[in-house]
A and B are shown apart, each in its own frame.
Chain A
Amino acid sequence: MFRWFIPTAIAVVCGFLVLLGYLLPVPILASIRVDLVRWATVLGAFALLLAYGSVLRVHLPRIFQKQSRHRVASSLLIGSAVVSLLLVLTQGPGGALVQAIVKSVLIPGESALLALTAVTLVLSGMRLLRTRRHINSAVFIAVTALYLFIAVPIAFPRVLEVILQFVDAAATGGMRGLLLGVVLGIVMTGLRIILGIDRPHSGG
């Protein structure tokens, strides 16, 4: 009982205090809110260290026991160790080595992965109707193709202006509806956590 009750109680009380600190212009509630947020930040940082420790726990046995993909695991751990050491030992994220690694390794690598994702999405779009023959699929493909054609304006602004105004209006209206749904979901999720209905912090 106490395994889930105490964490739930703490989470509920802290959530109420932070929410009241946001809503009510009471100085003490504001200070409590600021302190609780800082404590959560510290816990988040500690969670980051725990996550790094979990990565080591998974990949180190794979390296020492020479299991499958032990070379990939060794590359991961070496890279993380080097960057961590550089960040700690050098001037921080603005250091020359860090900046060099970022510009020469991280940015090109992630850009390549993003480009690969784009190509994969195009191929999947090409086979969408073969696997799922539905009007919604056809509309989706058509709209996607149209946006790709008009995303970068060509040197024919008159025609492009009409299309862009139409697309802009439709997109704006759709996004507003999505944003309203997102906000409502956020409010509901927050209340469920504050009231203890959902207990993501207790693992249940």
Chain B
Amino acid sequence: MIRCPTCGMLNQDNSKSCSNCGTILPQTKVRCPECGTLNSVGNLLCDNCNARLIQPEGIIPSNLPTESDNRAEGSPVKGISLPTRATANDSDVPHAGEDELPDWLSGLTEDSEEFSETAGSPAEEPGDDEADSSSGHPDWLSGLLDENADFGAADEPDEAEHKTEDELTFESDALPDWFVGEAAPDNEPTPDSADDSLYELPDWLLATADTSDTPAEASETPDLPDWLTALSEATPTETPVDSELPEWLAEAQAPITDADTNIVLDAETQPATPEPPIQPSAEPQLSADLPDWLSAVDDSEESSNIELPDWLREPAETPVPDLSAQPHGDAAGASEEEIAVSTAEEAAPREAVVSEVGEVAPTDTPERPAISPASPEPQPADLPAWLAGLEVSTTAPGGVAIFADDNKRPEKLTAQSEENPSQLEDIKPTTEASQYEPAEPPLIQGDTGIDWEEKLTFSEDTPAEIPDWLRGLDISEPKEPQAPSGIFGENMPAPAELPNWLQELRPQSSPATLFGVSNEPVNADIPDWLQALRPEPGEASGAAARLAGLPTPAEPEGPLQGVPGVLQAAALIDAPAGVKTVAKTAMPESVIAQAQLWQSLLERPRSAERPVSQAQPPNEAAVTLIRLLVAAIFILGSLGAFLLLPEGLRLATALPAQVAPGAPALIEGLDALQPGDRVIVAVEYGMAYAEEMSQIAMPVLQQLTAQQAEITIVSTLPEGAALGAALTAEAELLAAEAEVQPGPAQLDGGYLAGNASGISAFLSQPDAQAAHHILVLASRPERLRWWIEQVQLAYGSAPTPVSLSVGVSASAGPIVAPYLRTLQIQGWLVGLPDALAYRELRGVEDVNSAARTLDVLMLAHWAAGGLLVIGLLVSLVAGKKGARQSHA
């Protein structure tokens, strides 16, 4: 059932979408297109019909983690991969860890390839490749599996084979093909394939191989080479060893009496194993090519004269532990155990030599149970590292344990076992932990001096990837093998002479560096040449000089900061040194200056004192005091004249006629008017100038009224008509008081819209053309100008000339002065002084009020003038003082 990730609804396994919400469900099962069986996602083939499955999108079987990967994830130590025999497909498949192989292992790969070439094409059966890929066996080992198919390889269940394959933690790449043949299910040897696989074996093994063995025997020991199979079938008197085994192996059949050797070919020590023994039938074929050290191994009678290698002698010296009791829980140990058992049950004691090729020597593995303290330390043999570690859990030292059947054991082996039963019995695992301790390998010569052996501890919780048969390796310089004892007695076989392909297996480097295990500190990732360029922490001052002397500038930032010449500038990216960027637009100097100012301000350190503005805030009290003072002055000046000055005292006076000829001319012009003459009075001032202009206009209107002129009041201002009406009304009132006959009714010309155009339009009318005098009362100069201009235009060709008189305010007097000096204006009055003068010349009443008004005006003028002078003087003095304070 698949649970929907969105709604949590349970759906069928083969559902693609949720039945509740429709969410696309992750596929957990794959239906076989052939039989319809539901398979797990990731299965390449159907579990039922073995048909190819169509994986859902995004699921690739190869992406799925495998058991080997899972084991690899938990293994702290990287596994090593021994060179494999090249196959047809291997060229496309990179071998795992192939780059990590040391030279001595890499060379083995080449040799394996050579074997494949010489022995014929390797087993290119698909099954072999699959076996290699699935089981992890190296090619050179898996090939042997095919060769030895008829060596009694039983039809083991696939599960066991799979288990065997999977349990080869050392990825059985280290095992030769003939050794791993029994564990590779697909490499189940066939009679034909077995013969072919023999060509892969080295020559010395081929000679001992017996290809004529029946398949039945091969079924029993499928993984055994021929020579091993022959050994197992041989009778004590007619052992194939006698005829086919090398001498050293034949001698090994004799009971080992040398206490120094650890080789114990005792059948009694062979634990019962379920696996079929290795067919020793092939052994005789291998004897022809055995090296000297192997050929020296003879029957028991000659064993004493044969010098056994150390790894063969050791079992006699040290008791072989009962490996069957080893609680090996790991798959590697079990697999090795099975392999060892299969070989031990039928092989002669000289099968221990096979361990040199690929079999685990029973006493060679450091993982073997601890040897009893009483037993002497085993003598290291001249074995390569990858061979010495092979474990034969159920075999006695020397290969006795490989014999599954006592009948097949050589007499010597049996005798030896009888002679030294205690040795084997004593060799039992003491503790679970101790059995995994990498004890001194018995077949390794001398003190290896390898610390890592002692430190390599194996536990069930953390299974190390280093196989058991490697743990006890002595990869130090080989030493001369000690004379074997026990088996060979006095006639120790000559030191074993390793074949060339085994010699090359000798590691050149220390295992510490081989396996990457070392207590030495690991150099940093930065290479030495780069480390040298790193500036010292204390060289801050000298760093600049040091960097300056470098040919290339140092990196300014980043992980390589301070390192010069690390990265060369790419020509495509970096611009040439001679290229200089030029701004397309010229920056104005003001912008540059502003930018420089900003830069200087930003570069200023924060600790620097910030300039404080010297500008003081304005004193509100001083400002208020000044305003009050000005107000008081104006009030005093305006009211003081009325309140303080005596009535007869006059401060202001009228200008004399020689200075101001305007008033007399006006009087002369108005005196020329006849009663009933039309006079146009233009009121061109507003409400604000009404008081002043009324002082100017009223006496003139009084005269016109007294002369009984027809007054027409016009204005270009809306309020002018009302002001004009007020003037005429007051004038008539004054005339009535003066008992003067008023003139005709005052005509209201109305409002003249359009300023100059309105004036022109008004003057073009016949009534206006009949006017004799025009009096313009204006407070603004431009209105006066309009009238002057239009009057000149309108009355230029008129039959009756018209006079023009003007009355303006004191503010407009200087502006209209040029017009006043022209001939077109006959009389003018400017401000209150001229009005006073006109009054005085005409003898109009209410002169005192006009004089008093003039005195008040004069005092106000003097006050304003005085304040301006005071402010000017104060500004001159205070400005300098303020400037001095700002610069201080």
Contact = CB atoms under 8 A, between A and B. Distances in A.
A and B physically associate? yes
Interface in A124-171: 125-130, 133, 138, 141-142, 144-146, 148-149, 151-155, 157, 161, 164-165, 167-168, 171
B872 A110 contact: no
B872 A142 contact: yes
B687 A157 contact: no
A118 interface: yes
A157 B655 contact: yes
Given A102-B719, A110-B688, A175-B817, A155 B875 contact: no
Contact of B872 (A129, A175, A176): A129
A122 B656 contact: no
Contacts of A144: 865, 868
Interface in B691-731: 691, 719, 721-723, 725-726, 729
A79 B723 CA distance: 19
A37 interface: yes
B692 to A, nearest CB: 9
Contacts of A56: none
A38 interface: yes
B96 interface: no
Interface in B743-767: 748, 753-754, 757-758, 760-761, 764
B691 A155 contact: no
A106 B878 CA distance: 42
A94 B722 contact: yes
A122 B872 contact: no
Nearest to A180: B818
Contacts, number: 176
Interface string B859-882: 001101111111110111011000
Interface in A72-114: 92-94, 98-99, 102-103, 106-107, 109-111, 113-114
Contact of B631 (A18, A110, A119): A119
B627 interface: yes
Contacts of A93: 719, 721-722, 725
B1 interface: no
A45 interface: yes
Contacts of B816: 175
B858 interface: yes
Interface string B612-638: 000000000000001100110010000
A37 B627 contact: no
Interface string B649-662: 01111111011000
Give the secondary structure class of A's interface: helix
A26 interface: no
Given A102-B722, A127-B871, A154-B858, A38 B653 contact: no
Contacts of A172: 814, 817-818, 821
A44 interface: yes
Contact of A107 (B687, B810, B832, B872): B687
B296 interface: no
B275 to A, nearest CB: 107
Interface in A166-192: 167-168, 171-172, 175-176, 178-179
Nearest to B818: A176
A55 to B, nearest CB: 15
B122 interface: no
A13 interface: no
B757 A40 contact: yes
A119 B729 CA distance: 33
Contact of B688 (A114, A146, A151, A167): A114
Contacts of B875: 126-130, 133
Given A34-B761, A41-B753, A168-B817, A155 B869 contact: no
Contacts of A118: 864
A165 B659 contact: yes
A92 B722 CA distance: 8
B879 A155 contact: no
A142 B793 CA distance: 41
B871 A125 contact: yes
A144 B690 CA distance: 24
A155 B650 contact: yes
A58 interface: no
Interface string B167-199: 000000000000000000000000000000000
B757 A37 contact: yes
> Which has the most chain B C-beta neighbours within 10 Å: A122, A123, A172?
A122
A157 B655 CA distance: 7
A4 interface: no
A123 B626 contact: yes
A5 interface: no
Contacts of B874: 126
Contacts of B656: 157, 161
Given A110-B686, A111-B690, A122-B630, A155 B651 contact: yes
A22 interface: yes
Contact of A141 (B650, B748, B871): B871
A30 to B, nearest CB: 8
Given A45-B753, A129-B871, A111 B861 contact: no
Given A44-B753, A161-B659, A149 B861 contact: yes
B719 A106 contact: yes
A111 B659 contact: no
Contacts of A106: 687, 719
B871 A102 contact: no
Interface in B654-681: 654-656, 658-659
B687 A40 contact: no
Contact of A102 (B658, B723, B748): B723
Contact of B879 (A119, A129, A176): A129
B44 interface: no
A127 B631 CA distance: 16
Contact of B870 (A18, A22, A126, A133): A126
A24 to B, nearest CB: 13
B615 to A, nearest CB: 12
A133 B879 contact: yes
Given A152-B857, A155-B651, A172-B817, A111 B687 contact: yes
A44 B757 CA distance: 12
A109 B688 CA distance: 8
Contact of A41 (B758, B818, B868): B758
Contact of A94 (B650, B748, B869): B748
Contacts of B631: 119
Nearest to B793: A22
A146 B869 CA distance: 9
Contacts of B785: 179
B278 to A, nearest CB: 111
B396 interface: no
Given A152-B652, A172-B817, A123 B630 contact: yes
Contacts of A107: 687-688, 690-691
A129 B877 CA distance: 10
Interface in B828-849: 831-833
Contacts of A41: 753-754, 757-758, 761
Contact of A37 (B729, B748, B754, B871): B754
Contacts of B402: none
25 contacts: A34-B761, A34-B764, A38-B761, A41-B757, A45-B753, A94-B729, A106-B687, A107-B687, A119-B630, A119-B631, A126-B874, A127-B875, A142-B872, A144-B865, A144-B868, A145-B869, A145-B872, A152-B832, A152-B858, A161-B658, A172-B818, A175-B814, A175-B818, A178-B815, A179-B785
Would you list the 10 A-B pairs with minimal beta carbon distance, nearest first? A126-B871, A129-B875, A94-B725, A148-B865, A152-B858, A93-B722, A171-B814, A110-B688, A110-B687, A114-B688
Given A119-B631, A171-B817, 6 more contacts: A34-B761, A93-B725, A148-B861, A153-B653, A154-B651, A172-B818
Interface of B: 626-627, 630-631, 634, 650-656, 658-659, 686-691, 719, 721-723, 725-726, 729, 748, 753-754, 757-758, 760-761, 764, 785, 793, 810, 814-818, 821, 831-833, 854, 857-858, 861-862, 864-872, 874-876, 878-879
